[in-house]
Chain A
Amino acid sequence: MANLASDFIGIKSPNPFWLASAPPTDKKYNVERAFEAGWGGVVWKTLGSEGPPVVNVNGPRYGAIWGADRRLLGLNNIELITDRPLEVNLAEIKEVKRKWRDRAMIISLMVPCDEDSWRDILGRIEDTEADGVELNFGCPHGMAERGMGSAVGQVPEYIEMVTRWVKKHSRMPCIVKLTPNITNILAPAGAAKRGGADAVSLINTINSITSVDLDSFSPEPMIDGKGTHGGYCGPAVKPIAMNMVAEIARSAETRGLPISGIGGVTTWRDAAEFMALGAGNVQVCTAAMTYGFKIVQEMISGLSQYLDDKQIAMSDLIGRAVPNVTDWQYLNLNYVAKAHIDQDLCIKCGRCYAACEDTSHQAIAMSADRTFTVKDDECVACNLCVNVCPVDNCITMVPMAKGAVDPRTGRKVGDYANWTTHPNNPSVAAE
């Protein structure tokens, strides 16, 4: 059984699976249930300044989209930060941390954008013995209208400034949680790094409307006939999150900045993928909210088995795919593949044919007896057939050997060459 013990910016946890700051980590009862189930750590649901707590709506807070058999694919929420008194949260955090010494306890914070507010809250949490803080610069709804959350996270200068205050007024490791509602994730990530952040965590939720009620014409979730954009999360956002994680992991400016990966982690595979792209650990919310805390047991057993099978340590996995994330211009244009349909696995649904014939390159032939075969002289290896085929591994992309003649172009498969040296590239021709 592989060792999953995690040390993320000096914060130790028995495994790299933390619960993200969200409803599942709002109070002692839930967090203790999570720890009993096996979660390695939690980021306590965001605390605000002292004073009257925020209030939440009293109607639906969540909207969703579903796949086949109503499998939840994406969830959005309009819930704000904790609506419980600060003192209650602080007392519970302290109690839970003392009881569960081996688990990571991070406190998420969101207070107004002035130094006094931050200094004050940091002083208040010092006594909890928590392991670190996470700055919530991400929430896109509600709090952003009040100049907090993503309103800070969308302005790199603010991120840098607040991060400096936090490092100045607290001994605790500081994780800056980033919003994806920006054009380039490197700007806020770089700002966090310059401000002295020990790590970034991403992504927070994405601005979204999950659906519109076609009778009442209200966005969902609907509150008395109106709706507002909520924060989108769950499996549907994972590709967006992973790209942002990878960009931070590979860019010169932010390389080496520890990353806590968030966004649609549902199984051990998702976690492993985030870690391969540079995340030191992962945070989970939607999967727990969908299936309950027990899912962590599958994540633990799955990641352990994977590491054992690969005979690598968890530290070897982290960042392992980063060198393979590159720019389009460096992709090998002399790599030629062709789709291949395994006739034994094919169930003759013809979806590959419909997709290729209607929307791609007319590179699949259909016989009278519904045998589907690839026309190598038309196939550009776009992969659409693979993606629409309902049978796993029935259609595969087979690379052509170097020196073989591509029947589509009539040219031999050559050595590595990319766009930067391609004759059609105007900047090459200009030289």
Chain B
Amino acid sequence: MRGENLPFDKKYDLCQPFQNGKGSAKPKMTHSPLTPGIVPGRLPAEAYARNFGDHEPALDRHEARVAADRCYFCHDAPCITACPTSIDIPLFIRQIATGTPEAAATTIWSQNILGGICARVCPTETLCEEACVREAAEGKPVEIGRLQRFATDVAMGKGLHPFSRDAATGKRVAVVGAGPAGLACAHRLAMHGHDVVVLERRPKAGGLNEYGIASYKATGGFAQAEVDWLLRIGGIEIRTGVELGRDVTLDELQASYDAVFLGIGLAGVNALRAEGEDKAGVRDAVDFIAELRQATDLSQLPVGRDVVVIGGGMTAVDAAVQSKLLGAETVTIVYRRGREKMSASAHEQDHAVQSGVRIIHNAVPLRVLGNGKAEAVEFTYTQDGPGGLTLLPETFTLKADQVFKAIGQVLKGAPDNLVIAGGKLAGPLGKVWVGGDCAVGGEDLTVTAVAEGRDAAEAIHASLMS
């Protein structure tokens, strides 16, 4: 049951290649981790369900009660301050402890309408749980994230949606982007009685919840289930396959709606600026993750034998770990600076290492080697000093038939006439508000996007009603 406590090789089936010869035939496995190149089916069929199952199992009722008992109900609690959406954590935990997880969920959702996915993907170890006084006291914080998941799961399981719409205002708002920021904005606007149309360029709503995060963090189609649940407020119409700039312009939206919210995320990807970047086998990590998330049969998803991931964030970790779980023989993350500079949390880094991923710090790629397709990557070591990063003369080469670029996403497709500060959008400007990853400020976290979407909705509401 408690898979997180098992050694990785017990928890996941990495199918050590040498076991294949030991009798027990694995009939559906067409390839093994040792098969060269980018191929599907490196693992026996049954391994995929296990490897991509729930990363951190849900608390059952008893476990939740025990975990909730540990909360001290702090005054002006530091966990609330640490939460970008300022959920009243001590209150919701007390509501769990007293047997009313439905009330707990209402407490959570009233601040963070995507509290379910945030409970799964938030780096709680650097947010609420880092601030928990029991982290200071014992190094063991109250399990806030898992308790939040317990409460929201119970309430969603009962079909509760404890919000309703205010009297219709007759105002119409366009929300561009159905990611966390856009959905949070849309829900709050709908609650205040406005009619909302959400435009989404992809085939499904959910944004990075649907296309971006590791599969084992949101199993069972949770991202879509949460979108469906959110839409139960009413008054929100989602139009997929509509892209700003291609299918509709900002000017048109401003002309047709009383206000516009842009939560368009960061659709572009930074280039490596390394020689040979265009070789086959080199691709953006976000595309790989999106493809993996949408795959109906993971055994059909190809992955390299020797995978190299370049970058130091959550995307790099998600791509690397999932490559390993798909059966790659070796997976290496290479990051240009030291461990402490990685934007993936220590918890995420540990997870990667425990999953069998090697992390090399202080190195940058010089060139991708190979005849037309990637075969290896040559790196040079770096030194991070006060004057910035300097390249050292010593180089090394890693075997790589697949290379993932995860060195950050950038704004793409934003209307030219918007103020762009530091490569991001700044608002509000006239009838246009912005929020989420595309906006200036904040960390690129789901929970931050939710907070920005919610707050923009309140600002739009205040503006429309003034």
Contacts and interface: CB of A to CB of B under 8 A. Distances in A.
Interface of A: 68-70, 347-351, 353-354, 366, 370, 390-391
Given A348-B78, A348-B136, A69 B69 contact: yes
A390 B137 CA distance: 10
Contacts of A351: 72-75
Interface in B64-82: 65-66, 69-70, 72-78
| Contact-residue size bin, chain B (C-beta under 8 Å from the other chain) | 10 to 19
Among all A-B residue pairs, the 5 with the closest Cβ atoms: A350-B75, A354-B75, A68-B69, A347-B137, A349-B74
Contacts of A68: 69-70
24 contacts: A68-B69, A69-B66, A69-B69, A70-B65, A70-B66, A347-B133, A347-B134, A348-B74, A348-B78, A348-B133, A348-B136, A349-B72, A349-B75, A349-B77, A349-B133, A350-B74, A350-B75, A351-B72, A351-B73, A366-B76, A370-B76, A390-B72, A390-B137, A391-B137
Nearest to A350: B75
Interface string B222-264: 0000000000000000000000000000000000000000000
A310 B334 CA distance: 62
B139 to A, nearest CB: 11
A70 B136 CA distance: 25
Contacts of B137: 347, 390-391
Contacts of B133: 347-349
Nearest to A353: B75
Nearest to B137: A347
Contacts, number: 36
Interface string B133-172: 1101100000000000000000000000000000000000
A354 B73 CA distance: 10
Nearest to B74: A349
B128 to A, nearest CB: 14
Contacts of B66: 69-70
Contacts of A390: 72, 137
B136 A347 contact: yes
A370 B78 contact: yes
Contacts of B73: 351
A80 B15 CA distance: 63
A61 B136 CA distance: 43
A346 to B, nearest CB: 9
Contacts of A348: 74, 78, 133, 136
B409 to A, nearest CB: 35
A214 B69 CA distance: 22
Nearest to A345: B137
Contacts of B76: 350, 366, 370
Contacts of A370: 76, 78
A351 B69 CA distance: 16
A391 B72 CA distance: 11
Nearest to B67: A69
A357 to B, nearest CB: 8
Contacts of A366: 75-76
B60 to A, nearest CB: 14
A354 B75 CA distance: 6
Contacts of A350: 74-77
Contacts of B134: 347
B354 to A, nearest CB: 29
Nearest to B138: A347
A350 B72 CA distance: 9
A87 to B, nearest CB: 46
A218 to B, nearest CB: 18
A351 B133 CA distance: 11
Nearest to B68: A68
Contacts of B74: 348-351
A359 B80 CA distance: 23
Contacts of B72: 349, 351, 390
**Candidate in A347, A354, A366, A391 with the most chain B CB atoms within 10 angstroms:** A347
Contacts of B136: 347-348
A348 B72 CA distance: 11
A390 B70 CA distance: 11
A345 to B, nearest CB: 9
A347 B78 CA distance: 11
A170 B89 CA distance: 65
A351 B76 CA distance: 9
Contacts of A354: 75
A366 B77 CA distance: 13
A370 B72 CA distance: 15
Interface string B110-149: 0000000000000000000000011011000000000000
**Candidate in A350, A366, A391 with the most chain B CB atoms within 10 angstroms:** A350
B76 to A, nearest CB: 6
A38 B78 CA distance: 49
Contacts of A391: 137
A351 B77 CA distance: 10
A348 B137 CA distance: 9
Interface in B37-75: 65-66, 69-70, 72-75
A411 to B, nearest CB: 32
Given A347-B137, A354-B75, A390-B72, 10 more contacts: A68-B69, A347-B134, A347-B136, A348-B74, A350-B74, A351-B72, A353-B75, A366-B76, A370-B76, A390-B137
A360 to B, nearest CB: 13
A68 B134 CA distance: 15
A353 B133 CA distance: 15
B80 to A, nearest CB: 11
A3 B73 CA distance: 45
A147 B76 CA distance: 56
B141 to A, nearest CB: 11
Nearest to A354: B75
**Candidate in A69, A70, A349, A390 with the most chain B CB atoms within 10 angstroms:** A349
**Candidate in A69, A348, A354, A366 with the most chain B CB atoms within 10 angstroms:** A348
A348 B82 CA distance: 14
